[in-house]
Amino acid sequence: MERRLTAILAADVVGYSRLMGEDEVGTLERLKGCRRELVDPAIKEFHGRIIKLMGDGALVEFASVVDAVQCAAMIQRRMADRNKGTADGRHIQFRIGVNLGDVIVEENDIYGDGVNIAARLEAMAEPGGVCISGTAFDHAVHKVDVGFTSLGEQRLKNIADPVRAYQLLLDPAASGKVTAAPHRPGPRVMFLASVAALAFAVLAGFFAWHKFSVPSRPSVAVLPFANLGGDPGQDYFADGITEDLITDLTKLSGLDVIARNSVFAYKNKPAALADVARDLGVRYVVEGSVRRTGEQIRVNAQLIDTTSGDNLWANRFDRGMAGVFSVQDEMSGEIAKALGIRASAAESERMARPPTENLEAYDFYLRAEQTARTGRRDGLREALTLYDKAEELDPAFAEAFAADASTTVYIWRESFNDIMQSAPARKRAYERASRALQLDPGLSSPYAILGIMQVVDRRYEEAIASAERAVALGPGDAETQIALGYVQLFAGNHAEAAAAVETALRLDPNLSPINRQIAGLVFLIQGSNDKAIEALERTHEDAPSVGDFTITLGAAYARAGRLQDARVAVAEGLRSMSVSGFDSLSAFRLNGAQYRNPQDLALIIDALQQAGLPEWPFGFTGDEHNRLKGEEIASLVLGHTLQGQLEPGLQPAFLQIGSDGKAAFRSTTRLVTETIRVDGDLLCELSENMFGRPDCGPVYKRRDDGGGGYSFVNSSKVFHFTVVQ
């Protein structure tokens, strides 16, 4: 691992989401122009190296902190001049933070508190301003043509020690000056002022509410369109029409739209529209049907005001398959018009933009989405194949790449190595997410995916920043809120995690089983046992065959003192598993190593122990009298080939180990290259699987086979073997 002292410049665009919402195309063009004509030349002039670009932000490294501060000052001064001829609402402004600190270097990226402090200082800077750390100030003072205002010591989020901070004074007249920030009133004065301000705000709000209260924004639920084609195999197509209409309507800033999972709870379940409106908290409901016959489609849809029962709009569309995207565009436009909502130019352009020009690619994408949402391993495996086909047919299909990355990162973080080994899963998720952002920088899900991968790598601050950026780009997207909750959960920020999943549940009361499990874990760690049980029981009801979900429910029951229910749930979960997964305490320990707070993982392990989850996969137990010591294990396995059988089913397997520990494990379903080592009295496997963490376990002499055999067990296998070489 390489470390070095370096100057880091972090920058982002102020109000990027608002600018994109008002004029996406124009904002992107102006931002590209700023980079091309101003930012990139300044970085080059001061010998900077761009580490990464993140949609509306950048991370840049400099060998000299003086160069970094000069570059920041030049960018902000030139941007101020550039904005003079632009209307206020179209200004592009940057915030910039600069720090001199120690970083970890990994390939072409840098990590560590040195980077995190720069990012936190950037967030403190004023629009068009620069904030630098004390370490940067100490080297740059009197060497740069700017002034400085001391902001004193600042407590930065998740940074252990206070950090001295300085604001740059960019006016040439202030060059060389070092001033102190304005004196802040004492605590008593601040308290009294706060009380007065709060009282005034309450009174003002009370009178304003009475005088100016207006009806809330229109809200709508799009119920699943019925498949009238007579072929249940076409359900995915009717579902796709529904989902795309929901997606288009969410692009209208003046409309609240209920998320997909909540409305799909009503699929094939007749319900009174008044009940739907009450349950989902909406006034308007869209319902319709789809009939697909060969290459012809017929779509019927209507918009109903549930308060009066009036039909506000209805239409029928008869088209060839080539016209499916124009049907969706027309529907969303006509519904918006019926609701009295006028789409902005950017919203209209984005709704009218088809996700792909290739209908066959679109069909594969819809099929992949349907099967991926089940959470079942066979469904996940099939989804990857379908995404591959969609991407091959249209290499510019951004939504397909983003959805592919989302499914792959789930496989990776859950260690479903029977679907895809960890290393290729990680590579695929990164590549697909990067491709999606390259095709459409406004997508939020790739940032959410990046946050999930970073938190599993224990890069907590970067993970939080990525997840927060995802939420900024898609604040109404339940998926991004769940990703933020997942990241904050493992980072140990329980209140923030709970707030994120509560927001997700408000946006989508019927979360997918995968996301509802995350919500349940967050509530479990937070100590909200009733909420955890409610969430995980729903997960079990929606996906009863997924053993991982049921075992997590067992932990929640145990935490609530319902031990009998806990043991029943764990036993049911173990019966549902066809392969080794979260079927042992050892697996939970290894997979949960990314918890920043060890006590969070300990809480789950304790609950699962009470619920009866075994220590090792497939309920293996060894006789401690026959357990080998470390030196016995080393002499037995190093430089030898082990031949044997794997549980369950006793499938043949070989483990070839060199004297240096380099090894290859082969079975009928797996081929893994790895390193073998002995740690204490444990035999450890280290490969690219299990996030690169050593998977260790004991070795036992078998007394029941009469052939001098042995058993090796860890979180992922039970291997009965003999030494053949």
Residue at which a domain ends, from 569, 593, 615: 615
Task: Give CA angle at 710 (707, 711), nearest 5°.
Answer: 140
Cβ-in-10-Å burial (0-12, 13-18, 19+) of 389 comes to middle
Confidence of residue 347 (pLDDT cuts 50, 70, 90): low
pLDDT for the residue numbered 212: 33
What pLDDT band is residue 620 in, cutting at 50, 70 and 90? very high
The residue type at 145: D
Spatial distance between the Cα atoms of 329 and 326, rounded to a whole number of angstroms: 5
Gap between the Cα atoms of 315 and 300, Å rounded: 6
Which CATH number do you get for residue 514?
1.25.40.10
What's residue 227's pLDDT?
A: 87
- For residue 465, being part of any structural domain is answered with no
pLDDT at 125 over 50: yes
Give percent of the chain above pLDDT 70: 90
The answer to whether residue 440 is domain-embedded is no
Is 604 contained in some domain? yes
> Do residue 115 and residue 23 come from a single domain?
yes
Residues 110 and 255 in one domain: no
pLDDT tens profile 544-554: 877 788 999 99
Q: pLDDT band for position 245 (50/70/90)?
A: confident
pLDDT tens per residue, range 174-206: 887 777 654 444 433 333 333 333 333 333 333
Q: Which residue among 321, 337, 352 closes a domain? A: 352
What digits encode the pLDDT tens for the residues 95-120?
A: 999 999 888 887 777 888 888 899 88
> What average pLDDT score do residues 4-20 get?
85
- 265, pLDDT greater than 70: yes
Residue 640 sits in which domain range? 622-723
pLDDT over 90, % of the chain: 35
pLDDT tens-digit map of 391-414: 999 999 998 999 999 899 888 877
Mean pLDDT, to the nearest integer, of 584-598? Answer: 90
For residues 176 and 188, state if they share a domain: no
Q: Is residue 270 domain-shared with residue 171, that is, in the same domain?
A: no
| Partners of 534 in the β-ladder | none
Co-location of 165 and 276 in the same domain: no
- Alpha-carbon span 573 to 545, nearest angstrom: 8
Peptide bond into 648 cis (omega under 30): yes
Q: How many domains does the chain contain in total?
A: 5
Which of 351-365, 570-584, 638-652 has the highest average model confidence (pLDDT)?
Answer: 638-652
Please check whether residues 173 and 190 belong to one and the same domain. no
- What's the rounded Cα separation, in Å, for the pair 715 and 501? 30
Please tell me the predicted confidence (pLDDT) of residue 57: 80
In a domain, 321, yes or no: yes
For the chain, the maximum distance between any two Cα atoms, rounded to a whole number of angstroms, is: 91
Same domain, 141 and 199: no
Q: What is the pLDDT of residue 218?
A: 80
pLDDT at 350: 60
Show which of 588, 615, 642 is a domain's final residue: 615
Secondary structure of residue 381 in the 3-state scheme: helix
Q: What is the pLDDT of residues 303-330, one digit of tens each?
A: 998 888 778 888 888 888 777 877 887 8
Is 525 part of any domain?
yes
Residue 206 shares a structural domain with residue 284: no
pLDDT, average across residues 701-710 = 76
Q: Tell me what pLDDT residue 476 has.
A: 67
Query: Given this model, what pLDDT does residue 185 score?
Result: 42
Phi–psi pair at 665, nearest 5 degrees:
-110, 130
> What is the pLDDT at residue 577?
72
Of the candidates 696, 665, 693, 668, the one whose C-alpha atom is nearest the C-alpha of residue 680 is: 696
Q: What is the DSSP string of 511-558?
A: --HHHHHHHHHHHHHHT-HHHHHHHHHHHHHH-TT-HHHHHHHHHHHH
Does residue 557 surpass a pLDDT of 90? yes
Stretch among 420-424, 486-490, 619-623 having the lowest mean pLDDT:
420-424
Looking at residue 127, which CATH number applies to its domain? 3.30.70.1230
Claim to verify: residue 75 and residue 205 sit in the same structural domain: no
> Which residues, 6 or more positions from 462, have their beta carbon under 8 angstroms from its beta carbon?
111, 115, 116, 454
Residues 6+ apart with CB under 8 A from 686: 674, 675, 676, 677, 692, 693, 694, 695
Whether 341 is in a domain gets the answer: yes
Least confident segment among 215-229, 490-504, 509-523: 215-229
| pLDDT value for 491 | 94
Do residues 524 and 563 share a domain? yes
Note whether 241 and 360 are within 8 A (CB). Answer: no
Contact by Cβ (8 Å): 445, 142: no
Tell me what pLDDT residue 346 has: 61
Q: What is the pLDDT of residues 43-90, one digit of tens each?
A: 999 999 998 876 678 899 998 999 999 999 999 999 988 888 777 667
Q: Provide the pLDDT for residue 348.
A: 66
Identify the weakest region by mean pLDDT among 111-115, 380-384, 396-400, 489-493.
111-115
pLDDT of residue 705: 55
Q: What pLDDT, on a 0 to 100 scale, did the predictor assign at position 636?
A: 94
Residues 271 and 229 in one domain: yes
Residue 252 has pLDDT above 80, yes or no: no
pLDDT of residue 712: 96
Is 66 within the bounds of a domain?
A: yes
- Residue 484 confidence class, pLDDT cut points 50, 70, 90: very high
pLDDT at 498: 93
The per-residue pLDDT for 198 is 36
User: Is 387 within the bounds of a domain?
Assistant: no
52, 109 contact by CB (below 8 A):
yes
Q: Token digits for 688?
A: 């690219």
Binning pLDDT at 50, 70 and 90, where does residue 207 land? very low
Per-residue model confidence (pLDDT) at position 716: 86
pLDDT digits (tens, 9 = 90+) for 285-303: 998 888 888 888 888 889 9
Q: What is the CATH number of the domain that holds 317?
A: 3.40.50.10070
pLDDT above 50 (res 717): yes
**Is the per-residue pLDDT at 566 higher than 70?**
yes
**What is the per-residue pLDDT for 704?**
65
Q: Mean pLDDT over residues 632-648, rounded? A: 93
Q: Which long-range contacts (CB under 8 A, 24 or more apart) does 437-443 make?
A: 437/55, 439/396, 439/397, 439/398, 439/401, 440/398, 440/399, 440/402, 441/28, 441/55, 442/20, 442/24, 442/55, 442/473, 443/398, 443/399, 443/402, 443/473
Q: How far apart are CA 332 and CA 315, in angstroms?
A: 12
DSSP 162-208: -EEEEEEE-SGGGTT-EEEPPPPPPHHHHHHHHHHHHHHHHHHHHHH
Average pLDDT, the chain: 84
Pairing of strands 284-293, 219-222: parallel
Q: Are residues 16 and 161 in the same domain?
A: yes
Give, in order, the Cα–Cα distances in Å from 458 to each of 410, 586, 596, 649, 691.
Answer: 17, 19, 7, 36, 11
